[in-house]
Chains A and B, each alone.
Chain A
Amino acid sequence: MGALFNISPILASALVVVLPFIAFLYQALRGKKSTSGNISLIAIILSAVISASFVFAEIWGHTPQSATYNWFTIGTKTFTFGILLNNLTVLMQLIVCVIAVPVHIYSRSYMKGDNGIHRYWMYLSLFCFAMLGLTISKNLLMMYIFWELVGFASYLLIGFWFTKEAAVQANKKAFIVNRIGDLGFLIGIAAVFSTFGSLDLVEILGKDGLFYQGIDNNTGLMTIAGLGFFLGAMAKSAQFPLHIWLPDAMEGPTSVSSLIHAATMVAAGVFLLSSLFPLFNDNVLVFIAIIGTITALSSAYFALGQYDIKKILAFSTVSQLGYMMVAVGIGAWDAAMFHLTTHAFFKCLLFLCAGAVIHEMAHAKAHSTTDYDPQDLRNMGGLRRQMPKTFILMTVASLALAGFPLTSGFLSKDAIVISSFEWAIDKGGLFITIPIILVLVSIATAFYIGRLIFKAFFGEFRLDKSLLPHLHEAPKTMLYPMVFLGICSLFFVFSWNPISYHGAAILDGFSVAYIFKEIHSLHIIVPITLTITALCSWWVGYRWYVLDKYPLNPNSKWITAAQHQLGMNDFVNNKIVKGTLTFSNWAYLFDKYIVDGLVNSIGHIVKILSQVASWFDKYIVDGLVNTIAGTAYYLGHLLRWVQNGRLQNYLGFALTVVLIGIIYLIIR
């Protein structure tokens, strides 16, 4: 097909990036006059088509291509921008396009009638531009630029309803937490630059790159670089403890959550680590694996205690991202990318389904006399009768998330868990806890997603039954994208073999050489264990939530702790944010009273000194002059008396003087 149109993959991929940008400009310039979002939709569809047919088809499994253009020169170093197309980048670009298209279509009805819809399309196109640009960046600096731009687009979209206090708090938090990661990224870039003197990925990590010319990646500088990049990935991919922004980010429109905060942007961290994988030394990798494990475990636990349907999904996303991080940490970044791909589809679907449910609940709320939270699971129940198609699609996605056979999630999750077992056994020691925790997390995942399905779709409707007629199936423009994603959540999209991940095209495409040995028995034991435990947890969930045999105290410490995320948000708000603010207030007081006070008191002292000087001048220096003048005046005054005009006195004086003279002559 490429020959047909004679368009090079490089140009095509550039076009893929630029099209949404044109849509963004169009929306920005037209402003309120353009609300349909047609241009954005057309742009992203074209991008998807071009990406699939001219980029992915041309590059996947073939030789990588790249193009470099000079951007600017500082001193003697030239910084470039460029496009790098290899299996990893074209896959990521394709995923973003393919996920973005259904979300765009879905948004058309989901966001219909919103006042700021022109902004919505503008931001969405901006996001697509930045995300697509991120995927094919050849230069770290350029990647950083897009990296921040996606964060910026995410900021705009989370705060889309800017009159809502919670939304603007959430987007501020998201941006600032992401900023922490960005700084890590920047430090990483600085470290790479000072090691290699270049930021070009091909120059550094290409076949004959600088990296393979005897650079020791165990130096402290490389560790800093690795940790820096990982910090960036931690913030963007919501790893513990920087995950706190993601649950709050659910204040944005659900369609946005599905695209940005479930499928694409949050996965960018994993993508980044995969692209830079050779840079990481063993210490960093182990650190990544540990953080990934902690994230997976903690957020799966938090998800158990949530009632907000979107928050459950958010924590689930965090937890799955933890899986991917573990995969990167153990060196199986192909498995991470595989899971990223499958997760993108089923998690996006989960969000879109949740969005459909919320849409209907909010719709019903308009007819209700009471005020209720349309996102709260406790208000739902029995929805499968009103929304059967949504129910089926959501169940498919949930099964994929829980890792049931025949779904895509089964394949990718197995790949990670099995590889981690092999890695841990190869390493020995305490590392075995990592895969064991992953299995536990998998059980918990199955349970919480089961809980969501059972609570929302089974049982009886928990609110006023008169609202039921207002609950309908989602409209077709929302349903078709969901169906498409539902199909993509099944196994055959990725591998013809439903029970083993070995045939998966994505894994073959990367052909990563593992450092650890393959253990065949695990490939049978682990999938069976995971499936059985998942089934068990669904059964327990069914008993607890549908059959109402709930054995736990909902106010127990464990559940409230999960609900409140172990108090992490409070800790961040009360200790870190308040601490910073208090510190800054102190700094200001210091500035006002000490630094400026010093300046003012110097001024004051000078003033006092000048007063002293003035006093001295007035009374001492001038006083001396005055005294002399006064004395002269006094003396003159005295002599003046002599000159009184009386001749007799004159004579008398003359006589006196003569007498004195005579006396003087005598006694001399």
Chain B
Amino acid sequence: MGILSLLIFLPLVATVLILALPMTLRQSYKYIALAITLIQLILSGWLYANFDNTAAGINAIEGFQYVEQIPWIRLNLGSLGQLEIDYFLGVDGISLPLLVLSAFVMLMAIGASWNTEKSPKGYFSLIMLLNMAVMGIFCALDFFLFYIFYEVMLLPLYFLIGIWGGANREYAAIKFFIYTLFGSVFMLLVIVGLYFSVINPISGAHTFNMLYMMDPNNYVDGSFFAWFNNYNEILHIPARDIGFIVLFIAFAIKVPIVPFHTWLPDAHVEAPTPISIILAGILLKIGGYGIVRVCVSIFPDVVAHSNWWLGLIGVISILYGAFNALAQRDLKRMIAYSSVSHMGFVLLGIASLTVEGISGAMFQMISHGFLSAALFFLVGVLYDRVHDRNIYNFRGLATLMPKYTGFIAIAFFASLGLPGFSAFIGEAFVIIGTFNSESIGTGLPRWMAIAGSIGILLSAAYFLWTLQRMFFGQTRLKGGEQWAIALEGDVNCRERIILFPTLAIALILGVMPSLFFDKLNSSVLNLVSMVSQYL
């Protein structure tokens, strides 16, 4: 059993253990979850430390590390040939940082669920199941396996939001579930289409192996998604374009990209704090990761001529999310919309097809993972105490809770791109990459960079407005004396233990981005060279 399998299936052990233990030992569940996620973090950290920076990943199995490839399903289908599904895992510079991020955010989420009272057995076992699925998604290199993990992830989330959520939880859970399912069902069609278009050059059978799908030579002539001389059309759109669009929409819903974003604010507002943390910290990244790993890598020819549209959608997401965030009165909803805006940078960066842009986008994903998790955690701190999140119901919290204000100010400034924190590097390089795109000839106009930068301005506006409105001025609370007493204690020790490392990582990444870029560089260079042949 390889280390990646260990990483993926450790949480499953926790699930089984939690389910097996009787309810009298309910206090032990969270310790089991904590221990397992801690081990995962250490494992992923070990992977990160032992990663070979020169391996290029993306489309060659030699570029992947910690590879595990075991034949899984072999079925003779008669005239349709041999069904070939592998248990195929591996990481490269794109997925490894996300793996570490996931392990970290999971740990945060467990920390944030420390006081969960409502049926802890189901809660922790579902979270661990989710943990397994997420790890699987980032490791899987077989499209079928990827899809399985992708779908498995939905199930625990549905219950976690639907059972442990807020007042309107059922609506939010169903909306989230159906929205994501809507995307992934069509994805399945494309997966099957790709399966019948690609053959394994060694065995000659059709395959779900993603790496084979990235090589034009493995495509069967005349098949639906054939790379060359492909005249298949649906509604006058070439087949490969269709495949790309469908996959893109599936992941765009996850990112989420305007106009597929409306599940996000609802899900965030209704979800309990730990689930918000996981949603923002990990699940949104799956969308971005999918776009890079699947859409761009399997359809580089389509990306090369459609990136203008991707960039446009990215810019719209940035501005639209930012304007919406400015209009919010619910703190959590505001942060949810800011996530939409910040994830727009990811798309813009990827669309630029420049090394700087894609690296910036990847960095932005990691940075947003830490920062949005911290932000949602901070909202949870406030909500736990007074059960209110309306920005207008608070004023002058800085006098009452100086430490909390300090934390939230750092998180806000880090999110709005203050240099020294990670978001700055991500956003700045997305802008630089986009601006550079016209010079390099990848086709994004310069105004997109300028429009994107206006998003940075707006993010300053809504964060500072919130800071000023909620935290500064004379203390005045809607709940009066009662709230003041509830808020008296400031952040407690557990919350500090969770917040401090998160913000510290954002700071460390901002000061030493090489920690991340070194792992990423060769993969991104490989990706860009793959795409640039089609420009």
Contacts and interface: CB of A to CB of B under 8 A. Distances in A.
Interface stretch (A42-50, A253-261, A360-368, A576-584): A576-584
B324 A584 contact: yes
A193 B436 contact: yes
A168 B472 contact: yes
Contact of A587 (B324, B428, B440): B324
Interface in A139-179: 141, 144-146, 148-149, 152, 159, 162-165, 167-169, 171-172, 175-176, 179
Interface string B57-70: 00000000000000
B31 to A, nearest CB: 32
Contacts of B432: 186, 189-190, 193-194
A76 B525 contact: yes
Nearest to A583: B323
A122 to B, nearest CB: 11
Interface string B155-181: 000000000000000000001001100
Q: Number of contact residues on A: which range applies? A: 35 or more
Interface string A566-580: 000000000000001
Residue from the set A168, A190, A580, A583 with the largest chain B CB neighbour count within 10 Å: A190
Given A176-B464, A591-B262, A73 B429 contact: no
B457 A180 contact: yes
Contacts of B297: none
A172 B440 CA distance: 38
A621 interface: no
Interface in B423-440: 424, 428-429, 431-432, 434-436, 438-440
A632 interface: no
Given A75-B524, A172-B468, A148 B323 contact: no
B431 A162 contact: no
B396 A175 contact: no
A599 B428 contact: no
Interface stretch (B10-18, B36-44, B275-283, B512-520): B512-520
A332 interface: no
B413 A595 contact: no
A179 B326 contact: no
Given A587-B324, A595-B259, A72 B517 contact: yes
A165 B395 CA distance: 11
B453 A585 contact: no
Contact of A74 (B259, B359, B512): B359
A75 B453 contact: no
Given A163-B474, A581-B326, A190 B431 contact: yes
B205 interface: no
B236 to A, nearest CB: 25
B514 A183 contact: no
A167 B474 CA distance: 12
Contacts of A16: none
A187 interface: yes
Contacts of B327: 581, 584-585, 587-588
B420 A149 contact: yes
A76 B355 contact: yes
Nearest to B340: A591
B436 A179 contact: no
A183 B324 contact: no
Secondary structure of the B side of the interface? helix
A584 B323 CA distance: 5
A586 B231 CA distance: 44
B185 interface: no
B465 A190 contact: no
Contacts of B514: 71-73
A180 B175 CA distance: 38
Contacts, number: 153
B460 interface: yes
A585 B436 CA distance: 34
Contact of B453 (A169, A187, A588): A187
A172 B462 CA distance: 10
Contacts of A168: 468, 472-473
Given A75-B355, A163-B399, A224-B446, A587 B439 contact: no
A489 to B, nearest CB: 35
A610 to B, nearest CB: 13
Contact of B454 (A183, A189, A585): A183
A520 interface: no
A179 B355 contact: no
B23 to A, nearest CB: 37
Contacts of B323: 580, 583-584, 587-588
A179 to B, nearest CB: 5
A179 B449 contact: no
Chain A binding surface SS class? helix
A148 B320 contact: no
B512 A72 contact: yes
A576 B422 CA distance: 30
A282 interface: no
Contacts of A172: 464-465, 467-468
Contacts of A194: 432, 435-436, 438-440
B461 interface: yes
A596 interface: yes
A148 B325 CA distance: 23
A77 interface: yes
Interface string A291-328: 00000000000000000000000000000000000000
Given A183-B456, A190-B432, A75 B465 contact: no
A193 B440 CA distance: 12
A190 B513 CA distance: 18
B355 A176 contact: no
B328 interface: yes
A272 interface: no
B473 A599 contact: no
A356 interface: no
A191 interface: yes
B218 interface: no
Contacts of A591: 262, 320, 324
Contact of A596 (B262, B396, B513, B517): B262
Given A162-B398, A168-B468, A193-B432, A72 B513 contact: yes
A160 B435 CA distance: 37
B450 interface: yes
B419 A145 contact: yes
Interface string B357-390: 0011000000000000000000000000000000
B491 interface: no
Given A74-B429, A148-B418, A163 B396 contact: yes
A144 B453 CA distance: 15
B220 interface: no
Nearest to A169: B468
Nearest to B516: A72
B435 A191 contact: yes
Contacts of B434: 190
B318 to A, nearest CB: 13
A179 B324 contact: no
A74 B436 contact: no
Nearest to B327: A588
24 contacts: A74-B517, A74-B521, A74-B524, A75-B356, A145-B419, A148-B418, A149-B419, A163-B396, A163-B473, A165-B472, A165-B474, A168-B473, A172-B467, A179-B460, A187-B449, A187-B453, A190-B431, A190-B435, A194-B439, A221-B439, A580-B461, A584-B324, A588-B328, A591-B262
Interface of B: 175, 178-179, 258-259, 261-263, 320, 323-328, 355-356, 359-360, 396, 398-399, 413, 418-420, 424, 428-429, 431-432, 434-436, 438-440, 446, 449-450, 453-454, 456-457, 460-461, 464-465, 467-468, 471-474, 512-514, 517-518, 521, 524-525, 528
8 closest A-B pairs by beta carbon, nearest first, are A75-B355, A190-B435, A588-B327, A145-B419, A72-B514, A584-B326, A168-B472, A587-B323
Given A165-B473, A190-B434, A194-B440, 11 more contacts: A73-B517, A73-B518, A76-B355, A77-B356, A146-B419, A148-B424, A165-B474, A190-B431, A195-B439, A583-B323, A603-B178
